[in-house]
Structure 1
Amino acid sequence: MYQSISKNRISPALRALTIILAFVVTACSPRGKGQKPTQNTKPTTVSYPTAPVQFINPQYEISVPGELNPYEQVSIYAKVKGFVKQLYVDRGDRVHKGQLLALLEAPEMEQRYLSNKSNEQKIYSDYLYAKQAYERLVDASKTTGAVADIELDRAKSTMESAKSAYQASQAGTAHSAQLQQYLRITAPFDGVITQRNVSVGALAGTDSNIPLFLMAQGNKLRLTLSLPERHATSVQGDMQATFTVSSQPGKIFDAALSRTSGLLNQQDRSLTLEFDVDNPSDELQGGDYAQVKLILQRKKPSFWVSSKSILHTQSGKYIMTLDDNAIKRIAIKEGIRVDTLTEVFGNLSPENHIILKPSAEIQEGPLKN
């Protein structure tokens, strides 16, 4: 009876110890199968959008200012000194080549011409006498012993001297006659008188710095413009141009390239272009300013990239290439721009791929995987 009661008391204690041990073992064991193990994350690979460099030769249009000038313009001076005797034209008159514009008078010049002409006639008479004398001696010398050889030589020398004197007098007379022609002031080409600076009775001549007339050709004009240096190699021999003038808004005129300066102007580093413009109806005026549009093209292809792919830094301008999984920074110089593209010059090849959005933080070298 006693033993039975003891066994009944020990059994609950054992049960409690068993429960405690089970709890401790469960707490120390790994988490249940329902919880997923943590996965290791791999580093992401950095990528940059790129585009191939373009090796092309596009046409492009630029607009530059120009000026319309007379095809020919000249200041007309008197070549000899004289008084203005008559004026035949005034400002605004249209004249033809060779037309008489003014007449000068110089009485002493007329007297000089008459004197030279008289002297020429006298010397001519002396020459004729010497020539006849020589010819008579030649006829007489046909008879043996009639004329000594020395006399014949002397007569020939006299004749030749007279001939030379006569020719010199002819030149003197022609010179005087030519000076008289300079008293007639004529137009050197077809054009218009733009200015008249003298009146009848005024003294004109080589000592005056003021021209008698200013004259310009208006039926043909020169369109002149200065092309910036960066476009100088894009000029073609048959290049066409269109232009407008402020005096006739909305109207477009055409012109073809006639000539270039060939060399850059050292002051503004530009190439001078000239276009001949026919103006038979005087629709255009010399002196007008024009806005000229040109279609240009390089003589050979060049490299072009997106304008946004050029990296501007304090040390210069660069583009960044991504080729063979490596980044490289290349120094460049900019050329011209066409829409969203910019011409660049540097150590490039047609196989390069350009990073479209470069930044100074992007490091050169291989990309890390």
Structure 2
Amino acid sequence: MFHSISIYRRLITILVSASLLGFLFSSCSQQDGQKKELQYRTSISETYPTAPIAVMNPQYQISVPAELKPYEQVAIYAKVTGFVKQIRVERGDRVKKGQLLAVLEAPEMQQQYLSDRSTEQKVYSDYLYAKQAYDRLVVASETTGAVAEIELDRAKSAMESAKSAYDASKAGTGHTSQLQEYLHITAPFNGIITQRNVSVGALAGKANHLPLFRVAQDDKLRLTLSLPEKHASSVYPEMPATFTISSQPGKIFDAKLSRTSGILDPHDRSLALEFDVSNSSGQLQGGDYAQVKLKLKRENPSNWVKSQSVLKTQSGKYVLTFNNNQVKRIAVNEGNRLDSLTEVFGNLSPNDKIIIKPSEEIKTVKIN
């Protein structure tokens, strides 16, 4: 019996020892896990410092190429066919609106006008005769039974028919008269003759596809440029700009935004901008290429982070946030750059803390 009690005590001792060892092992494992998590948390906060997101709306500057063009320019064609009789201007001459540039001659057009004019006079005489006949019948009809009603109606119809014929003939004469006016080529606006393509005696008109002259307005110019899509929302009314041209190094010219295309060009995804530039002194030339500096500003504030905070991988661009002991990888698109900051767009909150020097080795897990 004593032997049985001894064996029982040994079993109890072994079980108690095993329980103690298990408890100690579990406690050590938990402590090791907590210690590792604490170390990882400490490594994130110390090895990878964070910085808050900057929410701001700064004015920024970009430089884009542009072109100076005449405010108005047009190719002048002859609307009617004729021979060049006179040329009153040369290339480089300055002209005023309505000034005579050239005279064409078309003898058959003059003959047609004279014929139409003669026909008009004849038809007008017929109309006057029909009207007089009707007026006399109206007076005679005041005496009862003197004129049959059908005769009065017939006279009235003849008068109205003659009136219609006269109106048509008058319109025909006006048409040929207007065509004769087209024999005189005039300037559509104040400007300068940039091309003269014909000589006296040349045939001008529909058979010749070459313009007689080209005229450009140079006292006012258009500065045109294409703004990339990512800057399109930063344009505002009367936006200032400065520009330089290679033909006048060292000189800086000012301009203000006059108009935009309103929509992006589907071919290059850009917004067309136009600046009206006064050139009354004539120091600028239409056709020059220019380099323009624009001062842009977005409508609303946006998120900015340190440029080195953007993690660039094969799968895209990301920032790593460290909030509530949790690391998250957020996909972003880059916007503008300003000194050491980069504008980013993504699922970010103004309260997020961004890891300044991210790495693909940083685990995106929650640390308890």
2:234 is matched by which residue type in structure 1?
S
Deviation at 1:248, TM superposition (A): 1.1
C-alpha separation in 1, matches of 2:367 and 2:238: 50
The DSSP-based 3-state class of the residue aligned with 1:108 is: helix
Deviation at 1:343, TM superposition (A): 1.1
2:97 is matched by which residue type in structure 1?
K
1:94 corresponds in structure 2 to: 94
Of 334-343 and 77-86, more deviation after overlay is shown by 334-343
Is 1:252 matched with 2:249?
no
Is 1:59 matched with 2:62?
no
C-alpha separation in 2, matches of 1:59 and 1:220: 29
1:209-358 equivalent positions in 2, closer than 5 A: 209-358=209-358
2:84 corresponds in structure 1 to: 84
C-alpha separation in 1, matches of 2:207 and 2:259: 37
Deviation at 1:240, TM superposition (A): 1.0
Deviation at 1:366, TM superposition (A): 2.2
C-alpha separation in 2, matches of 1:337 and 1:267: 26
The DSSP-based 3-state class of the residue aligned with 1:58 is: coil
2:167 corresponds in structure 1 to: 167
2:265 is matched by which residue type in structure 1?
N
**1:217-241 alpha-carbon deviations (Å, 9 max, x no partner):** 0100000001001000110012111
The structure with the largest alpha-carbon Rg is 1
1:305 is matched by which residue type in structure 2?
V
2:7 corresponds in structure 1 to: none
C-alpha separation in 1, matches of 2:253 and 2:326: 54
Deviation at 1:337, TM superposition (A): 1.3
Deviation at 1:336, TM superposition (A): 1.4
Deviation at 1:355, TM superposition (A): 0.4
C-alpha separation in 1, matches of 2:65 and 2:91: 30
**1:207-264 alpha-carbon deviations (Å, 9 max, x no partner):** 1110001110010000000100100011001211111111111111111111111111
C-alpha separation in 2, matches of 1:166 and 1:259: 51
C-alpha separation in 2, matches of 1:319 and 1:85: 76
C-alpha separation in 1, matches of 2:167 and 2:240: 57
1:31 corresponds in structure 2 to: none
C-alpha separation in 1, matches of 2:235 and 2:141: 80
Deviation at 1:339, TM superposition (A): 1.5
C-alpha separation in 2, matches of 1:128 and 1:256: 65
Q: Report the TM-score when normalising by structure 1.
A: 0.87
C-alpha separation in 2, matches of 1:159 and 1:51: 97
C-alpha separation in 2, matches of 1:124 and 1:315: 87
C-alpha separation in 2, matches of 1:92 and 1:52: 63
1:333 is matched by which residue type in structure 2?
N
C-alpha separation in 1, matches of 2:242 and 2:153: 78
The DSSP-based 3-state class of the residue aligned with 2:225 is: strand
Q: Report the TM-score when normalising by structure 2.
A: 0.88
C-alpha separation in 1, matches of 2:68 and 2:340: 33
C-alpha separation in 1, matches of 2:367 and 2:321: 12
The DSSP-based 3-state class of the residue aligned with 2:266 is: coil
2:298 is matched by which residue type in structure 1?
R
C-alpha separation in 2, matches of 1:334 and 1:162: 80
**1:50-101 alpha-carbon deviations (Å, 9 max, x no partner):** 1111121111000101000000011100000000000000100000000000
Deviation at 1:367, TM superposition (A): 3.2
C-alpha separation in 2, matches of 1:229 and 1:320: 27
The DSSP-based 3-state class of the residue aligned with 1:159 is: helix
C-alpha separation in 1, matches of 2:327 and 2:217: 63
C-alpha separation in 2, matches of 1:281 and 1:315: 56
Deviation at 1:302, TM superposition (A): 1.1
**1:22-74 alpha-carbon deviations (Å, 9 max, x no partner):** xxxxxxxxxxxxxxxxxx99764312311111121111000101000000011
1:152 corresponds in structure 2 to: 152
The DSSP-based 3-state class of the residue aligned with 2:74 is: strand
C-alpha separation in 2, matches of 1:256 and 1:107: 53
1:32 corresponds in structure 2 to: none
1:196 corresponds in structure 2 to: 196
Structure 1 residues not aligned, in runs of 5+:
1-39
1:349 is matched by which residue type in structure 2?
S
Deviation at 1:325, TM superposition (A): 1.2
Deviation at 1:266, TM superposition (A): 1.4
Is 1:74 matched with 2:81?
no
The DSSP-based 3-state class of the residue aligned with 2:322 is: strand
User: What's the RMSD between the two structures over aligned residues?
Assistant: 1.3
C-alpha separation in 2, matches of 1:289 and 1:191: 21
The aligned length equals: 329
C-alpha separation in 2, matches of 1:247 and 1:338: 31
1:356-367 equivalent positions in 2, closer than 5 A: 356-367=356-367
C-alpha separation in 1, matches of 2:65 and 2:339: 21
User: Sequence identity, in percent?
Assistant: 71
Structure 2 residues not aligned, in runs of 5+:
1-30
2:21 corresponds in structure 1 to: none
Deviation at 1:340, TM superposition (A): 1.3
C-alpha separation in 1, matches of 2:301 and 2:319: 19
* Bigger helix share: 2
C-alpha separation in 2, matches of 1:197 and 1:238: 40
1:103-118 equivalent positions in 2, closer than 5 A: 103-118=103-118
C-alpha separation in 2, matches of 1:118 and 1:366: 102
